Structure 1
Amino acid sequence: MTTTPDDGATREEKSASPKKKRILIGVLVVLIAGALGYYLSGRGKITTDDAFVDGRIHYVTPRVPGYVARLAVTDNQVVAAGDVLVELDPTDYQVALAQARADLASAESQLAAMELEAPLELTQTSSRVTGATAQRDALLKSLEQARKEEEAALQDTAEAQARFDQAKLDLGRYQSLHEREVVSQSDMDKATTAQHTAQAQTRASAARAEAAARRRLSVEADLDRLAAEIRLAQTGKDTARIKDVEARAQRARVDLAREKVRQAELNLGYTRIVSPVAGNVTKKAVEQGRLVAAGQPLLAVVPLDPEETWITANYKETQLTNVRPGQEVVFTVDAYPGRKFRGRVESIMAGTGAVFSLFPPENASGNYVKVVQRIPVKIVPEGLDADAPVLRLGMSVVPTILVR
């Protein structure tokens, strides 16, 4: 029987068909196996690329104004806690301290002379009585003015104390929120600066109130002295009582002079600005010869110690279903490709970042479009030895939380 060309082609197609089916089945098996492997490898892991290295920033500000006499650090310099960063010109504060010490010595010498001096013999002339009476009338007006100043100073002290108490409460709240990463480090620093400023204002107000009280006591003592002089001039009694009143008034002046010396010593010490912690100098905004004001930010010190840094990862709210504090984390840093780091979840922020923004969204007004929110998660690195790369603030991180 003769075979035609069409019959040969049909047999070849039939023999090739099972081969194509086997190849197709093999490809499908490989794809399914790859998809299953990818699913199993990613199961129990959540990751994000919206993460960065975070840490504490210590801003350095002067307590007293002055010209910068010496700038002891440069940008990115490593400093230890207590190292001198900036020195202000101490000349004015040295002069103020010398003047305060001279005033104290003069007041103490006058007090010693009063305590050792024999009682004065007073005449009983009418002119002396008239002059003392005129002085008493003037002192009465001064006493009224001193009492008003003291009352105003006490009110200022009460207001300053109230502001300090409120700043302390705010700082406590910020500390609580900062521990849970609700607020940024800059907000924490602002709250700390506000608390320090309120505390300084409270002390200054209390000092003014104390000074006003001493001025009032001094005027009252002078009034007592004049009254004693008048009585002595009229009756001829001994002047010991007058000298005692004068000595008490002089003791108050000596105490005030001592406080001025103490304040002058503190101001002189404030001309040396030291580092609050060990770290790297950054954001330097001061140069030698520049006039700086009290409270003006000069620079910042950033500690890069592993104990002072952490990772802030902004995960989508849909990813946090099974995330808990204490879970293991594996993360990579863009600056160190190919190296993996380990850590653990320390805490999860109480709300989304939008809730704590300056202008939080008002979803109850206008049109509403649902957007998946992100919640910051604080991750603490672990197992970083001395040879580990330095994690600098702001570095991009890709963390993966092992939830299972």
Structure 2
Amino acid sequence: MATPVHQDPAVAPNQTYAAEPEQAEQPAGRSRRPIIFVILALVLLVGGYYGWQRYQFGQTHEETDDAQVEGDVYPVLPRVGGPVLEVKVQDNQPVKKGDVLVMLDPADQQQRVNAAEAALAAAEANVVAARAAVGTAQATVGSAQSTIGVSDATRAKLQKDLKRSQFLRKEDIIPQSDLDAVQANLKATSAQRATAANQVNVARQQVAAAQQQIAVAQAVVKQRQADLDNARLQLSYTTLVAPANGIVSKKNVQPGQVISPGQQLMGLVASDKTWIVANFKETQLATMKVGQPVTVEVDAYPNVEFEGRVESLSAATGARFALLPPDNASGNFVKVTQRVPVKIALTQPDPEHPLRAGMSVVATVKVK
């Protein structure tokens, strides 16, 4: 026979009481389910609304974070070499156009100026000497022409004397020697005239040559003047001035340093004008045009928005300006979406939030 099992009266009531809380928790769980459904529905509605807003925004705007602030950076390069005498600026110092930045030792250039001045003075003296030679040659021409005049007068007289002497000789009034003397004097006078005529020609040639010497001397003067101007220009290059308003950056020159022409001494970042260069994908440019409004967010000022407009679009992708542009005709071809630089001009600069070249920005263009 089976032995009946008797429950312990002290244990059975406790088991009954332990089951009662489970039955009591079931209504509380059912009451929380509607709240969870409501929360999920609100999350879905908010997410859907946000997604719809982003979709609508994406249909009318193009955005990229591949953008940065750009500005004019002027390299300070010497045109002449030499030791640095003095550096008048420091890093991050604002300067104005024309302010002296660096001074080189001008001794070598000053010596070239002195030599050019001496050469110019010598050339000018040669011009004076050439003009004096022209005067002397012209005086020689005048003297030779006077000799020709005297010879012509003497010859005319002797020709008359010869006629008289020939008549007198026929009459046997004068001896033959007198007639021979008159004929000899006439021949001598004719020879003197020919000599004087040759002297006139020679003197005229000397005048022309002297005038040519004046022209040559004047050309030498111009050359020496150009050399002097160039020497003075080179001397002026020993003082390096700021090409524009800006801020000194990356200074790498010290007094006593010997520099060479073309060596970059520092950079000058223009502080009065900046712009944005945004590199949009080529698939984003279908409806992008010049003049469209742009909103710019700068990483340095997360709560500030800058307004701008599209000023221009590059005529080529950025890859075309690389040191080694891609050649898709060689090797295996892998299509890569290219980016095109777009220049964005700021319409309302904010002096309280200055933009510095190289800052990262997010540019959003309203294309519709």
Q: TM-score, normalised by structure 1?
A: 0.62
* 1:301 CA drift (Å): 1.1
In the TM superposition, what whole-angstrom CA distance separates every residue of 1:132-168 from its partner, at most 9, and x where no partner exists? xxxxxxxxxxxxxxxxxxxxxxxxxxxxxxxxxxxxx
In the TM superposition, what whole-angstrom CA distance separates every residue of 1:273-302 from its partner, at most 9, and x where no partner exists? 211111011222322222222222222211
Q: Percent identity?
A: 40
Q: Say which of 25, 43, 49 aligns to 1:37.
A: 49
1:77–1:111 Cα change, 3 Å:
same
* 1:262 counterpart = 2:220: no
* 1:14 CA drift (Å): 9.0
Q: Say which of 274, 281, 295 aligns to 1:330.
A: 295
Amino acid at match of 2:302: P
Amino acid at match of 1:276: P
Amino acid at match of 2:71: G
Which structure would you say has the larger Rg? 2
* 1:98 CA drift (Å): 1.7
What residue in structure 2 maps to residue 341 of structure 1?
A: 306
Q: Say which of 59, 76, 80 aligns to 2:92.
A: 76
* 1:80 CA drift (Å): 0.7
What residue in structure 2 maps to residue 370 of structure 1?
A: 335
1:290–1:368 Cα change, 3 Å:
same
Task: Give me the whole-angstrom Cα distance separating, in 2, the residues matched to 1:259 and 1:24.
Answer: 93
What residue in structure 2 maps to residue 296 of structure 1?
A: 263
1:243–1:383 Cα change, 3 Å:
closer
In the TM superposition, what whole-angstrom CA distance separates every residue of 1:347-379 from its partner, at most 9, and x where no partner exists? 333343223322222334433333333332222
What residue in structure 1 maps to residue 360 of structure 2?
A: 396
In the TM superposition, what whole-angstrom CA distance separates every residue of 1:318-366 from its partner, at most 9, and x where no partner exists? 4444433322222222222322222222233334322332222233443
Task: Give me the whole-angstrom Cα distance separating, in 2, the residues matched to 1:69 and 1:274.
Answer: 14
* 1:303 CA drift (Å): 0.5
What residue in structure 1 maps to residue 276 of structure 2?
A: 311
Secondary structure at the counterpart of residue 320 of structure 2: coil
Task: Give me the whole-angstrom Cα distance separating, in 2, the residues matched to 1:251 and 1:72.
Answer: 43
Amino acid at match of 2:248: V
* Structure with the largest fraction of strand: 2
- Contact 1:119-1:243 within 8 A present in 2 as well: no
Amino acid at match of 2:267: A
Q: Say which of 204, 207, 215 aligns to 1:248.
A: 215
Query: Which deviates further from its counterpart, 336-345 or 93-102?
Result: 336-345
* 1:279 counterpart = 2:243: no
1:246–1:347 Cα change, 3 Å:
closer
In the TM superposition, what whole-angstrom CA distance separates every residue of 1:20-46 from its partner, at most 9, and x where no partner exists? 3x3354234212321232124323244
Amino acid at match of 2:116: A
In the TM superposition, what whole-angstrom CA distance separates every residue of 1:19-76 from its partner, at most 9, and x where no partner exists? 63x3354234212321232124323244332221112211122222222222122212
Structure 1 vs Structure 2 CA RMSD: 3.4
1:17–1:368 Cα change, 3 Å:
farther
Amino acid at match of 2:238: T
Task: Give me the whole-angstrom Cα distance separating, in 1, the residues matched to 2:30 and 2:286.
Answer: 50
Query: Which deviates further from its counterpart, 310-319 or 278-287?
Result: 310-319
* 1:94 counterpart = 2:59: no
Task: Give me the whole-angstrom Cα distance separating, in 1, the residues matched to 2:122 and 2:87.
Answer: 38
What residue in structure 1 maps to residue 74 of structure 2?
A: 58
* 1:15 CA drift (Å): 10
Question: Which residues in structure 2 correspond to 1:106-255 (within 5 Å)?
Answer: 106-116=122-132, 119=136, 236=199, 237-238=202-203, 239-255=206-222
Q: Say which of 302, 324, 329 aligns to 1:359.
A: 324
In the TM superposition, what whole-angstrom CA distance separates every residue of 1:160-204 from its partner, at most 9, and x where no partner exists? xxxxxxxxxxxxxxxxxxxxxxxxxxxxxxxxxxxxxxxxxxxxx
Structure 2: where are the runs of 5+ without partners? 1-18, 141-194
Secondary structure at the counterpart of residue 65 of structure 2: coil
What residue in structure 2 maps to residue 223 of structure 1?
A: none
Secondary structure at the counterpart of residue 113 of structure 1: helix
What residue in structure 2 maps to residue 49 of structure 1?
A: 65
Amino acid at match of 1:98: N
Task: Give me the whole-angstrom Cα distance separating, in 2, the residues matched to 1:102 and 1:310.
Answer: 52
Task: Give me the whole-angstrom Cα distance separating, in 1, the residues matched to 2:50 and 2:211.
Answer: 96
1:50–1:252 Cα change, 3 Å:
closer
Task: Give me the whole-angstrom Cα distance separating, in 2, the residues matched to 1:297 and 1:28.
Answer: 64
Secondary structure at the counterpart of residue 111 of structure 2: helix
Task: Give me the whole-angstrom Cα distance separating, in 1, the residues matched to 2:25 and 2:237.
Answer: 99
